[in-house]
Amino acid sequence: MSSGALKAGTPGSEAASDGVDAVTLQVVQNRLETLMSLMTRTLEQLAGTAVGREAGDYSTAFLDADGKVAAFGSAVITHLGHEVMIVPWIYENYGRENIVPGDIFLSNDPYTGGSVHANDVGCVAPIFSEGEILGWVFCDMHFADVGGAVPGSFVPDAGDVMAEAVRFQPIRIYAGGEYREDVVRAFVNNTRIPTRIARDISAEVGALHFGVKAITELAAQYGDANLRVILAKLQAFSEQAFRERILKIPDGVYEWADYMEDGFQEDNVYCARVRLTVAGEDIYLDYRGSSPAAPALLNCTRSGLIGGVMGPVMQQLTIGIPFNAGVMRPLHIRSDTGTWVDAQYPTPTGIATGYGAWAVSDATTGAASLALEASGDEFLRLRATAQAGGTTPLYLFSGPSDQYGDYSIFLNMDGPGGEGEGGLEGLDGGRGNNVCLYGSIPSVEAHEASEPFLYLSREIWQDSAGAGKWRGGFGLKAAVVVWGEKSSPQSGTFCTGRNSAPAQGLHGGYPPPGVYYGPVSGSPVVDELDEGKLSTCSEVEDQYSDRFESLASKVMWVGKRELGKGPGSEVFIMRHPGGAGFGDPLERDPEAVIADVRDGVVSAAAAADAYGVVQAADGSVDLAATEERREQARAARVFDGSDRSGGTK
């Protein structure tokens, strides 16, 4: 610690020479947190596309003069990759001395300014105090379209990042307070929905204006020099607090591997592997055992890797510690450039957030859970979790016309919001995942108001919750048909990473089922609406299972295939995964299993098969039969040497 640092509170000690005390640290930290949430609120209210806002796919941050995180208002933790990389890039390439008050930079290139994928368009503005840079405010948000070969900018056959989308290195959209409309127009002109994208940029500008003003006032209140000291101390506090927490985790190596299948252009399985080493008060995260980069858009760059690491760091390891650059100091991240979690220019990265970075997050959650469980500290131990549903299935629909006659493009974001959390000790998984802090899904009416679809039903996907003593949260399924007088048939791009490699349970907890989806063709469902007959997703599946086509985990229809409208047209079925279970399902309280059956989360068949619970005729638990069934199930798990291959020797 430097000589200026605060020393331990020994009785009778004198005032710190800089006058920064426990009260000031807390007061400023509180202020920063509320300012970030106000900035985030401004951003989400003004944004012009639903994609970012309704899944909470946006973030804000206050960065210090060096571009390190001073406070975080992020909703999507992955954006931290962009947050930590953008300012250093600007300094290095444009020169710190050339930054002036009133500048605002726009940035969406994964290989320069740190955007995780080109859809994440960020804006950043310096804050000056007494002629010097005091810090920066930053916004980041998923934009629905940033150009490229297909609507929505997820381009499966793009061979490199140039083919994927329009990419701007950090570029001034305001220079010294002068608005550069030409630059903004150059960007939005390369997208399919320029007005809405321009609105998104304006929303970020509005949020930044608020942030600059608020932080400038804070500097006036505390004094510029004082505020710099306070920010440094807050980072020092967070670093030290995190180090003390790490000391509560036994030294050791904790490993986890997460898998996602299929890369659009081939059928490989991609592995994100982490070796998490706790050594004293430091944590080393080594991702060098991860798969080589995919030829298509699954990969993430180093910024996606950092962003992916931060989810579990924030939600499992540093809870209650102010989140700033201080918590990153005890972390040491290693990776090999050229792997799919640290892609090398110009490898494509179109869906980095949902794939490469998400796999990093899930793998790190797994390793962190093992490490936390080894701790003697109960608070830490109880933060071990089975995996949440795991990356969003992306259902991106597009067509020449929506129900209002406008160009139609939308990404169904029920994925990141509509999945289940993993089970934890003593607690079933709830709603969401550990990437999207503010994840939620739009109402069916909000969907139907903005998309050319009628939702036949949106239901709890029965048995989607990974079984366990503490089960995962449930996932969803929905069935839609194209709807609206002006609507055109809809094409799209669809992908899931969790068909054959679902989220992983902990301590014998089961994974959720793999995600599958696709159209039901040639059914009378749409025609029957005219006759007054409504069918639900479950009914369609039951009655027309032979007409359901389970699509591959990565499919692009654009230019090849579409969902029709009107008589005889298809029903499209979408699924969103449940979370994995924690602990052996045979140990689950039978009453809890019955309650799940009653609530439609677990089927009677799964209650018997996965949980070994036998119901009496009146629906109550038959305890004796349940115990017997569970005994049999346990016995069947013991390998008795017999050949189970089904073949002959």
Which residues, 6 or more positions from 338, have their beta carbon under 8 angstroms from its beta carbon? 292, 293, 344
Nearer to another protein, 244 or 627 (CB): 244
Q: Which of 138, 210, 517, 548 binds another protein (CB under 8 A)?
A: 210
Residue 491 Cβ, how far from another protein at the closest point, in Å?
21
Footprint on residues 521-550 left by another protein (CB under 8 A): 529, 532-537
Which residues, 6 or more positions from 403, have their beta carbon under 8 angstroms from its beta carbon? 451, 452, 483, 484, 485, 486, 487
Footprint on residues 370-409 left by another protein (CB under 8 A): 382-383, 385, 403
Residue 199 Cβ, how far from another protein at the closest point, in Å?
5
Nearer to another protein, 184 or 333 (CB): 184
Size of the site for another protein (CB under 8 A): 128
Q: Is the peptide bond before 346 cis (omega within 30 degrees of 0)?
A: yes
Residue 601 Cβ, how far from another protein at the closest point, in Å?
9
Contact between 440 and another protein per CB under 8 A = yes
Joined together, the tokens standing for residue 321 give 């510690």
Contact between 395 and 494 (Cβ < 8 Å)? yes
Q: Which of 206, 289, 346, 564 binds another protein (CB under 8 A)?
A: 206
Footprint on residues 310-369 left by another protein (CB under 8 A): 312, 314-316, 319-321, 323
Nearer to another protein, 52 or 295 (CB): 52
Q: Which stretch binds another protein (CB under 8 A): 106-114, 190-198, 295-303, 497-505?
A: 190-198
Nearer to another protein, 115 or 238 (CB): 238
Footprint on residues 589-618 left by another protein (CB under 8 A): 598-600
Quote the CA–CA distance of 223 and 212 in Å, as a whole number.
16
Which letter, b or e, does each residue of 400-423 get, where b requires 16 or more Cβ atoms within 10 Å of its Cβ? ebbbeeeebbbbbbbbbbbbbbbb
In 10 A of CB 532, how many CB atoms? Answer: 6
Q: Which of 84, 99, 203, 257 binds another protein (CB under 8 A)?
A: 203
Contact between 444 and another protein per CB under 8 A = yes
Nearer to another protein, 458 or 469 (CB): 458
Q: Which of 162, 279, 427, 616 binds another protein (CB under 8 A)?
A: 427
DSSP reduced 3-state for 582: strand
Residue 611 Cβ, how far from another protein at the closest point, in Å?
19
Joined together, the tokens standing for residue 20 give 């920064």
Nearer to another protein, 599 or 628 (CB): 599
Contact between 182 and 198 (Cβ < 8 Å)? no
Quote the CA–CA distance of 114 and 117 in Å, as a whole number.
9
Footprint on residues 236-275 left by another protein (CB under 8 A): 236-244
Nearer to another protein, 96 or 199 (CB): 199
Q: Which of 4, 45, 568, 637 binds another protein (CB under 8 A)?
A: 45
Q: Which of 146, 201, 285, 563 binds another protein (CB under 8 A)?
A: 201
Q: Cα-flanking dihedrals φ and ψ of residue 360, to 5°?
A: -60, -45
Footprint on residues 128-157 left by another protein (CB under 8 A): none
Footprint on residues 448-487 left by another protein (CB under 8 A): 448-449, 454-460, 473, 476, 483-484
Across-strand partners of 573?
Answer: 479, 518
Element (H, E) at 364: helix 356-373
Contact between 106 and another protein per CB under 8 A = no
Quote the CA–CA distance of 615 and 629 in Å, as a whole number.
11
Nearer to another protein, 478 or 586 (CB): 478
Quote the CA–CA distance of 300 and 77 in Å, as a whole number.
15
Q: At what angle do helices 194-222 and 22-46 cross, to 10 degrees?
A: 160
Contact between 467 and 581 (Cβ < 8 Å)? yes
Q: Which of 42, 291, 387, 464 binds another protein (CB under 8 A)?
A: 42
